[in-house]
Structure formats: C-alpha cells, structure tokens
Amino acid sequence: MESANDHYDSPWKEAIEQYFAEFLAFYFPEAYAGIDWSKEHIFLDKELRAVVQDAELGTRFVDKLVRVTELCGDESWIYIHVEVQGTRQPEFAKRMFVYNNRLFDRYDRPVASLAVLADEHKMWKPSSYGFSVLGCRLTLEFPIAKLTDYEDKLDELLASDNAFGWITAAHILTQKTRTEDEERYKAKLRLLRILYERRWEKQRVINLFNVIDWLMQLPEVLNNKVWQELETIEEKEKMQYVTSVERIGIAKGRVVGRVEGEARILKRQLERRFGVLPEWAAERLVSAKEEELEAWSDAVLTAPTLDAVFHEC
C-alpha cells in the first residue's frame, strides 16, 4: 500500500519530459534505436487527454503521448504512448489496448505502446490484450519494463550514466524504505553523494535532485539534516549546485505538485459519482488550496450532490 507521503507521479512525469531519449534508451532500447533523434520530438498531453478522457479504465501513474520521427529515411511521424503504472490493476492491459486503438483511429498513424510497471508485485507482468470472435482476432502486444526486475542490480544502476539508471535506483530505495525514515534518510544521502560524484552539469544535477526530493520525502527534522549534509558535500567537492534560492523553489514545487496530484485524484472521484464536472467545479479544483482538497475528499464519500461536496465544507 502506498504511503500518503509518497507522491511518485510528478517526479516521473518531469523526468520523462526532461530526459525522454534516455528513458527510451534505458527501458526500451529497441524503440530508442528506431527513432531519428536529430528530429524534434513533441509531447502531446492535451491531445492524449482529448482522446481518452471518456475511457477511464483505472487510475494511471503517468501517461504520455509523444510524436517522433522514425529512422527510416522518409521523415514519417509515429506516436509513442507511454504508461508508467504504479499499482497492479486487472484492467491495465485492456487500457493499453483501448488507448492504442483510439490513438490510431485519431491520427491514422502507427502507435507504439510502452509500459513501465512500477508496482511491487514481481509476478504481475501484463504485456498483451485482445479477443477472438467468429474467426476475427485482434491483439495488442506491448513491451514492458518491470522495475522490480532491477532490485538485485542496484550497484549497476547507481553506476549508470543514464539518468533513468539513477532514477530507477531511487524508486527502488524509496519503496524499500517506506516505513523506515532513518533508512530512507541514509539512502537519500547515498544517492545525493553519487549524484555529486557524477559531476554532471548543474541543471541536470538540480533536475535529478528534484526527483529524489519528491520521491524520498522525510520528516522535517531529517529533511533539515539532508540540507546540512548537502552543504558539507558541496563544500568538500568545492561546487555549489543547489543554491538557497533553488532550495526554496524545490520546496515550493513539491507542495504545488502534491496539490495538483490531489486535485487530479479528487476530480476522478467526483466524476465517478456525479459524471462530467461543470466548468465551475473544475475551476474550483484548479484554484483550490491543499486544506480545501482534503475537506472535499472527505465530503465526496457522503455528499448527496456535487454542490453539497463544495458547500458542506
């Protein structure tokens, strides 16, 4: 069961957008090899939402639609649909099938569906969905990357120059220290030291620091100890990556991202109970404060109407 303090979706989303080529190279090398990386790749998040908004088949961790150019000489566009799934769900493979078909219908171009399974159930590895009826057969088979398969390769991950080697290690260590704050503190420091040892360019270090700070959340007293250790590391290495201004930005970004995630979850809950939300309700969710979202999340369980959810609090 996920801890209420573990918010994985935002760091994964940001990391995929920032390091998409590395994401594919690490988890799906065959797909990476088939793309012309000299051409621009374009994220189409709004377009994806428009295509699948009425086909909610279980909650998602992260999903992305990316337009890329095939490495085949004719500059042809294709589409990559990426799902990062954080929990085991019976309907997951069906969702991959439905989304692939809808995207093909929308764009009339080939769609590659790729899945990263970030749950903790080692044997859960769905990779196809389809049906056969009256001699007609339709099946989608899709590549998967299972993060638990990397658990015994931690040293190899930490030695990787690929950002997603390090991120995968951070994800695994986050899960392993879910109920052990002191162990998580030690793991976070280990990851930070390795991050600084890499001597990557400053923005890359800051971006990845943001990922680990999102993933490995700690009680305030231990979080302050992390900052103190970070100052010691920067002084020893004679480099300063994360300035005081950037630290404030990271902290604010963590809060904003957490609120956005809570708003998305509440929106799905409201839509399941009351149908498509009117514009006024959607606007209230977008502008809501964290305490308002918490109160509405409690109210949605018993409120008889949508209006009552917002006015009982």
Do 78 and 25 share a structural domain? yes
* 205 within some domain: yes
* 169 within some domain: no
Torsion of CA 76, 83, 265, 1, to 10 degrees: -170
Name which of 82, 80, 93 is nearest 15 in CA terms.
82
Do 258 and 223 share a structural domain? no
pLDDT for residue 61 is more than 70: no
Do 196 and 90 share a structural domain? no
Q: Report the range of poorest mean pLDDT among 60-69, 118-127, 135-144, 171-180.
A: 60-69
pLDDT for residue 117 is more than 70: yes
pLDDT for residue 156 is more than 70: yes
Do 129 and 47 share a structural domain? yes
* 297 within some domain: yes
DSSP tag of 151: G
Do 275 and 213 share a structural domain? no
User: Using alpha carbons only, what angle is made at residue 274 by residues 269 and 275, rounded to the nearest 5 degrees?
Assistant: 90
Please report the pLDDT score of residue 7 as a whole number: 47
Do 264 and 201 share a structural domain? no
Contacts of 278 (CB under 8 A, 6+ apart): 306
Torsion of CA 274, 279, 280, 285, to 10 degrees: 80
Mean pLDDT of the residues in the chain: 83
116 or 10, which is more confident: 116
The token duo for 16 is 């995929």
Average pLDDT over residues 69-73: 82
* 213 within some domain: yes
14 or 163, which is more confident: 163
* 258 within some domain: yes
Q: Which of 124, 148, 172 delimits the end of a domain?
A: 148
* 236 within some domain: no
* 162 within some domain: no
Kindly report the number of other CB atoms within 10 A of residue 22's CB atom.
19
pLDDT for residue 251 is more than 60: no
pLDDT in tens, 9-58: 567 888 899 999 999 999 999 999 999 999 999 999 888 888 776 555 55
Number of separate domains in the chain: 3
Q: Are 266 and 299 in contact (CB under 8 A)?
A: no
Do 193 and 291 share a structural domain? no
Please report the pLDDT score of residue 244 as a whole number: 42
Please report the pLDDT score of residue 310 as a whole number: 84
298 or 149, which is more confident: 149
Cα 187 from chain centroid? 21
Do 80 and 35 share a structural domain? yes
Q: Report the range of poorest mean pLDDT among 89-98, 121-130, 264-273, 275-284.
A: 264-273
* 4 within some domain: no
Measured CA distances, 80 to 30, 37, 306, 309 (Å) = 13, 14, 36, 38
pLDDT for residue 177 is more than 80: yes
Range of the domain at 276: 254-311
Pairwise CA distance, residues 179 & 157, whole Å: 23
Do 265 and 136 share a structural domain? no
Please report the pLDDT score of residue 295 as a whole number: 78
